[in-house]
Amino acid sequence: MIRRGSGEISNKAANRAIWLEQGGKGVGLVTLLLGVAVFLLPFYVMLAMALKDQSEVATTSMWSWPVHPTLANFVEVLTNPNVSFALFLKNTTFIAVTSTIGVVISSSMAAYGFARVEFAGRDRLFLVLLATMMLPGIVTMIPTYVMYASIGWVNTFKPLIIPAFFGGGAFNIFLLRQFYLGIPRELDEAAVLDGANHWTIYWKVLMPLTKPALVTVGVFSFMGAWRDFMGPLLYLNEPEKQTLEVGLRTYTALRAEKWHLLMAGSVLVIIPILIIFFIGQRSFIKGIVMTGGK
């Protein structure tokens, strides 16, 4: 895989490489700086609108920074007695945390099975797994709803949590399978020689080695549950059971969007995910995984 050069030029090359490395870093930093402006745009606009009062939102450009920034919108969103932010936060947290636990456990198990164990029918079952992603959810939505209604799950958190414990979604299984396939087999074989069975290999060898992937799956499924709109909208009826994403939508009335409140709500909704991402991304530190030893 790695080309072997001759020893003589390697020193020079190394110097050049170090120089390039520094230069590359500089270029990288500049690119990052330029790009970040474009990528921060949505958050900037959301924040700017959240800090304006209603008439300023209506009369000034979307891009302008508020003349008199105000926290009044945040206060209103947080304290409106008819639209209880605290209650929505509690519901959303409960759903997101439990379903994320379910997703991480059950999808990593299935991924291990598909990546590391040779069982009858594996490859074709894997295609079935992929196929479950290919049918648009719109046409299965009503039958699924009828099914959950028939077992009394409507107006409970169950349809939003329990399926997570049964596989956790083809997307996550596929992702983790790819990571497990990237870990050398020698590690399992060494463990087998030490008397380990599949469960030990799964739990003690692969789980720790694929932390970045597990974090990715965790962050994604947490975010997915946190930001889910159609699920809670369909399955939860009572106002006391609403989640943030659905509950705050009440600030959108027909033809009368309250942008200032909507945006204040949106900013509040994404802050927890940002914190989780910020913490989670620490596992993406170069060189933590020791693989490919030859």
Partner 1 sequence: MVLSTLCVLGCASAQADISLRFVVWDGDEAMKVITSEVHNFEVAHPGIHVKLETVNANYQEKLLAQVAANVAPDVAMMDPADFQRFSTRGKLYSLNQFFKLTPEFDLSKYYKNLVDAHSLNGELYVLPRDIAPCSVIYYNKRLFREAGIPYPDGTWTWDFQERPDLKDKDFLWVMHRLTKPAANGGLPAQWGYSPGWKELFRDMIYLQMGARALDDYASPKRMLYDDPRIIKATQFSADLALVNHWMPSDTEITNALQSNASQLFTEQKVAMFQSGIWEVPGLRKELIPGTKGYFEWDIAIAPVYAHGVRAYPTGGSGYCILKQTQHPKEAWLLTQWMAGPHGMLAMARAGLAQPGIHELAISEPWIPGPHTPIDQQVPHNRIITDQSAPYVVFSPTTIYWSEISGIGGQTHELVFRGTAKAQDVMPPANLRAQKRLDALIHDERLVPFDWKLGGVAGVVLMGILGAWIYAPERGKRRSTRQKKDNLAGYMFILPWLLGTILFTVGPMVLSFLMSFADWDIIRPAKWRGAGNYVEAATFDPTFWKALSVTLMYTVAAVPLGVAASLGLAMLLNTKVWGMPLWRTCYYLPSLASAVASALIWKKVFQADGGILNGFIYSSFGHLAGLDKFLAPFADATGKVNWLGSEKTALFSLVLMSVWGAGSGMVILLAGLQNVPQYLYEAATLDGAGHLSRFRNVTLPLVSPTLFFSLITGFIGSFQVFSSALLMTDGGPNMATTFFMLHLYKQAFLSLRMGYASALAWVLFAVILVFTVAQLRMSKWVYYEGGK
Q: List the interface residues with partner 1, window 36-65 (CB under 8 A).
A: 36, 38-43, 45-46, 54-55, 57-59, 61-63
Interface with partner 1 (CB under 8 A), residue from 127, 193, 194, 195: 127
Query: Quick check: 276 binds partner 1 (CB under 8 A)?
Result: no
Distance CA 152, CA 201 (A): 39
Q: Please give the C-alpha separations between residue 155 and each of 100, 161, 239, in angstroms, as whole numbers.
A: 20, 13, 10
Q: Which is nearer to partner 1, 96 or 168 (CB)?
A: 168
d(CA 201, CA 145): 39
72 binds partner 1 (CB under 8 A): no
Is the distance from CB of 259 to CB of 57 less than 8 angstroms? Answer: yes
Site for partner 1 in 86-105 (CB under 8 A): none
Maximum separation of any 2 CA atoms in the chain, in Å: 76
Binding region for partner 1 (CB under 8 A) out of 34-42, 66-74, 88-96? 34-42
Element (H, E) at 257: strand 256-257
Indicate the DSSP class of residue 66: P
Q: Interacting stretch for partner 1, rule CB under 8 A, among 65-73, 92-100, 262-270?
A: 262-270
Cβ of residue 26: shortest distance to partner 1, in angstroms?
Answer: 10
- Kindly provide the b/e burial profile for residues 192-201, where b requires at least 16 CB atoms within 10 angstroms of the residue's own CB: eeeebeeeeb
From the list 78, 93, 203, 258, which residue makes contact with partner 1 (rule: CB under 8 A)?
Answer: 258
Q: Least distance to partner 1 from the beta carbon of 211, Å?
A: 8
Part in contact with partner 1 (CB under 8 A); list of ranges 65-73, 92-100, 139-147: 139-147
What H or E segment, with its residue span, contains residue 204? none
Q: Which residue has the tokens 């198990």?
A: 109
Closest to 244 in 3D by CA, of 218, 275, 268: 268
> Judged by CB under 8 A, does residue 251 bind partner 1?
yes
At closest approach, how far in Å is the CB of 205 from partner 1? Answer: 11
CB 265 within 8 A of CB 251: yes
Least distance from C-beta 265 to partner 1, angstroms?
Answer: 9
Nearest distance from C-beta of residue 97 to partner 1, angstroms: 18
Among 34, 68, 86, 150, binds partner 1 (CB under 8 A): 150
Residue 18 has, within 13 A of its CA and on its CB side, a CA count of: 5
Segment lying near partner 1 (by CB under 8 A), choices 66-74, 88-96, 256-264: 256-264
Q: Which of 19, 35, 79, 190 binds partner 1 (CB under 8 A)?
A: 35
Pick one of 85, 168, 225, 268: the residue that binds partner 1 (CB under 8 A).
168
Residue appearing with tokens 């295609």:
127
By CB under 8 A, name the one of 67, 121, 194, 195 that touches partner 1. 121
CB atoms within 10 A of CB 97: 14
How far apart, in whole angstroms, are the C-alpha atoms of residue 139 and residue 97? 28
